[in-house]
Amino acid sequence: MQVKLNSDERIDQLYRDDIQIIQSSSVFSFSLDAVLLANFADVKQKSKTKIIDLCAGNGAVGLFLSKKTDGDVTMVEIQSRLSDMARRSIEINNLSDRYHVLNIPLKDSLEYINADSVDNIVCNPPYFENLPNSKKNPNEYLALARHEITTTLDEILFTSQKLLKMNGKLFMVHRPDRLPEILATMTANRLAPKRIQFAYSHPNDQANMVLIEAIKDGRPNGTKILPPIIIYDGKNYSKTIKELLYGNSTD
């Protein structure tokens, strides 16, 4: 399906799954963290599955799940321009029958989605706290995507545990330097961390991303640390990343 693009927009593609995404460098473009999160998320496959993509941006994470589930996917995004991009990307990929966008603040999610009704949540949230001395991008769209201006980690995890069914799963990508805070806040919100995986630019670097799976009302302990993801092999993407982006046929 063809849709109208604004003058600053383009269509990019996740070739492995043949998913097209409307992007704009002046507003927002998904990056590798979205691809890693969608791959990490162990979502249910059945058509009755209910999945929520919180802090959805232009819809990349939710759309990248489309080949992993036959369920219903709802994207929650506060920025109207990004919500519109997500809606048009849904149309391009012929997913309008089971994909939906809510252009609302995350804190209002429970007014539109029933509590204790969601099987899986994915979230690529703003990474940085909104502190008085925080240096923010002058581009308002990028500032809102990167800093906790319109939502916070506490609000995201509180909302997630309210939306999830018992034993429902949350999948999140974040910065490793906030991991102690993330784990403590998860535990305070009845979310038991079960899988953790770190991503590194190069083997000897410090981790620059962490992927976390948590289960609502899951048993304490039993957390698994998965093998690391290495993003680059020298200056090029590693074999693992190439396969995520382009499929197994890539050399």
Tell me the pLDDT tens digit for each residue of 55-94: 999 999 999 999 999 999 999 999 999 999 999 999 999 9
Domain of residue 198 covers: 10-246
Give me the phi and psi of 19, to 5 degrees please.
Answer: -105, 130
- Kindly state whether residue 146 falls inside one of the protein's structural domains: yes
- Kindly state whether residue 2 falls inside one of the protein's structural domains: no
pLDDT score, position 248:
77
pLDDT score, position 250:
44
Range with the poorest average pLDDT among 2-11, 37-46, 140-149? 140-149
- Kindly state whether residue 4 falls inside one of the protein's structural domains: no
Pull the structure tokens for residue 19.
Answer: 């998913």
pLDDT average, residue stretch 101-106: 97
**CA torsion, ordered 98, 13, 21, 42, to nearest 10 deg:** 50
The CATH code of the domain that includes 50 is 3.40.50.150
Position 114 pLDDT exceeds 50: yes
Total number of domains in the chain: 1
Nearest in space to 32 (alpha carbons), one of 3, 54, 12, 7? 12
- The residues, any chain, with a CB within 8 Å of residue 136's CB and separated by 6 or more, are 143, 146, 147, 149
> For 6-44, what is each residue's pLDDT tens digit?
888 999 988 888 999 999 988 877 889 999 999 999 999
- Kindly state whether residue 3 falls inside one of the protein's structural domains: no
